[in-house]
Amino acid sequence: MKNVIYLKLKTNKTTDNESYTLSVKNDQITIEGGTAAGVFYGTQTLLQMLPAEIYNKERQRAAKWEVKGALMEDTPLYPWRGMMLDVARYFFEKDYVLRFIDMMAMYKMNTLHFHVVDDAGWRIEIKKYPKLTSVGAFRGEGANRVGGYYRQEDIKEMVAYAAARNVDIIPEIELPAHVLSAIAAYPYLSCTGEQYTVQTQHSISHEIYCVGKESTFDFLQDVFAETFALFPSKYIHIGGDEANYDRWKACPYCQKRKKALGLKTEKELQVYFNQRVQKMVKKYGKTIVGWDEIIEDGLEDKAVGMIWHDQKKAFKASEAGHYSVMSLTGYCYFDVAESNIPGELKAATWLPPISLEKVYQLNPMLKGLDEKYRPLILGASATLWSDQFIHGTVLQEIPLLNENRSEKYFDYLTFPRLAALAEVCWTPLAKQSWTDFEKRLGSHYKRYDNAGYGYRVPQPKLI
């Protein structure tokens, strides 16, 4: 047949099922993938070869649908190409999440880490614990009350939408810290049992789940059961970061537990907590993912550490046989400003700028890491934290946001840094080139313009 586009599954399957071949001839285009994912990635490449206007629903009809002849074989360098969206601190409506999935799919990113629990908000409906959302999803009083959550139906829609674009959504059910929203809803989950309110300012609450009471584990068991019915991912992110042990130290239940287990430190208690959760979710066939705090000490089964503190954590994780995903604060924190040029839009200010070029310099296979650990390095994941958006301080500073277009600002933080991250995760090292990437940036901007995405044009360097 002439003038057709063939989408095919390879008959002789390769081991890498995300790969594809694409051939463009005079009268026929063929995309062949090891799996549907491979075919999908081939179509994304084809879209990029067409004029940028095709990304715009109104302009696409008038565009000249012409593609240059081509023959290519393409395979991703890493299997985990991710982005984290912090919907807990700033509630992103479902439509933005769907749009964000589109933004990822355009770049063949396949993992959305969904930060749905934090001190400032609990975002997913759990039917057995309705207060998690009726109380935990909202903060502030009267006219200042803000928030929102996703009903289970919304989650199903997002998961299906993502799956159709080969994006796996991994929910993060934070524990034991960053959970004031849950504690405000069900005070018995904390050590003191006192009534708290959902966090309205950014700081990390000292209230954490009580590790001494069995009721904490019963609660988590129920939450996981409902969560797993919604998210088919083989992974569950359990947070594990930044636990302050003040409450455990003063809690008779926690101290009794510590003594009974013969543990010396509260840190060991957290390891015990993680181990119990790991066992709990294993029954559902899930592998735990956590911030690098969780992979430091003896977990029974393999886990995935999201390396954020520093590279040494990845070395430790690898030596212990755990997997690593790079979310390093020096490369992957997209809430951080891109330069220190006066007037630069900023979200998080606790870290030095992360320029586009810096993102491009990330190599998940860290320098000095023994080659034998390569299979344990799964890839990279950038974070879009929203803690600075809690009280509108950043909102007022940034003109884009004054028009109540905060989502555009998140686009601005994401693009084109996401393009750099995608290339770092996908393209063979020998073919990565910053100067070449820079030259191609213009074509990315045209696509953003047409798709209606916000983005930041890198500024000249300050001398």
How far out from the chain centre does Cα 167 lie?
Answer: 11
| In the complex, least distance from residue 388 CB atom to ligand TNX, rounded to whole angstroms | 7
By CB under 6 A, name the binding residues for ligand TNX: 241-242, 291, 308, 333, 335, 348, 385, 387
- Give 30 or 329: the residue with its C-beta nearer to ligand TNX: 329
- Selecting among 93, 153, 214, 242, the annotated active-site residue is 242
| In the complex, least distance from residue 118 CB atom to ligand TNX, rounded to whole angstroms | 7
Q: Which is nearest to 297 in space by CA: 261, 324, 257, 270?
A: 270
Q: How many residues does the chain have?
A: 463
CB atoms within 10 A of CB 95: 9
| In the complex, least distance from residue 335 CB atom to ligand TNX, rounded to whole angstroms | 5
Q: In this structure, which amino acid lies at residue 341?
A: I
| In the complex, least distance from residue 242 CB atom to ligand TNX, rounded to whole angstroms | 6
| In the complex, least distance from residue 349 CB atom to ligand TNX, rounded to whole angstroms | 9
**Which residues are registered as beta bridge partners of 212?**
none
Q: Which is nearest to 294 in space by CA: 281, 304, 284?
A: 304
Catalytic status, residue 242: yes
- Give 156 or 309: the residue with its C-beta nearer to ligand TNX: 309
- Give 29 or 348: the residue with its C-beta nearer to ligand TNX: 348
- Give 397 or 436: the residue with its C-beta nearer to ligand TNX: 397
| In the complex, least distance from residue 382 CB atom to ligand TNX, rounded to whole angstroms | 12
- Give 132 or 348: the residue with its C-beta nearer to ligand TNX: 348
- Give 109 or 413: the residue with its C-beta nearer to ligand TNX: 413
Give the active site residues.
Answer: 242
